[in-house]
Structure 1
Amino acid sequence: MARTRYKKKIKNGNTYYFFRFTHKNLRRPRDLYGKTVAELDAKIQKLKNEMDHNVHVSKVKFEDYLKIWLETVRCISKKKGTIGGYQSTYRNHILGSILYDIPISDLNVLDDQEYLNDLLRQGHSYNVVCSVRNPVSPCIRYAFQQ
């Protein structure tokens, strides 16, 4: 039997591997369990990736995050016309799109690029794609940098 760095625990007759995960973005350590070492490694890697990118809540959808981000971050120092343009872009192109229902923790830049490419394939002009990209791309970067 190969040695592993994880502790074994037995609960209800089942053997689990255990790891206590600590990170600077967590207030207290989180205990992770897996039936196999590979499963536990995958859980650790996923949680580490989320913590490194500061995504704490996986239940928040992109729609909610974008609305809040537009109101609290992006539109603070913008003119009324710019804010109206962002709201129009949100209503016409982002509402109901493929990005709309993705949880913010699962979203990545490739999803954004795929959506922009789909807009071009549907026959939208380059200017429309740029107007969609202006609020969406910085929002995704902000979600993973803050």
Structure 2
Amino acid sequence: MQVETNMDSCLTKKTDHKILLPDGWPAPRGYSHAIAASGRLLVLGGQIGITPQGDMRDGFVAQCEQALQNICCLLETAGAMPEHLVRMTWFVTDIAVYNASLRPLGAVYRQTMGRHYPVMSLVQVGRLVEPGAVVEIEATAVIP
């Protein structure tokens, strides 16, 4: 088993987390297959595109940006940073919209989270609990 060592990644500079990549597997883009970590577990409930003032952002990318900002705020409150994330699960109401938004979504992700890509899953759902929400992101972090 190989341990990926991307020195450009803030992950290798600020945590002891190890991104794992089995021999012969292609390197994933925008996510990781597995991360080994030890420390204090932080589990974040699903975050949607609602601002701290209670306003739902308009549009898929804007809601994703707000959900990611909400995750960063919760991380900061716990004394953590985005590079402490080990897992994210994205629930979207329309995968076609997600796929059509990859370029702007990638830019928003990197601007908000940096170039740290935890283990991720993406699931299409019929609808989310909050009316008007089109994305919800759950996250798990391990704080060394």
Q: Same fold (TM over 0.5)?
A: no
Higher relative contact order (CA 8 A, sep 6+): 2
Larger radius of gyration: 1
Higher strand share: 2
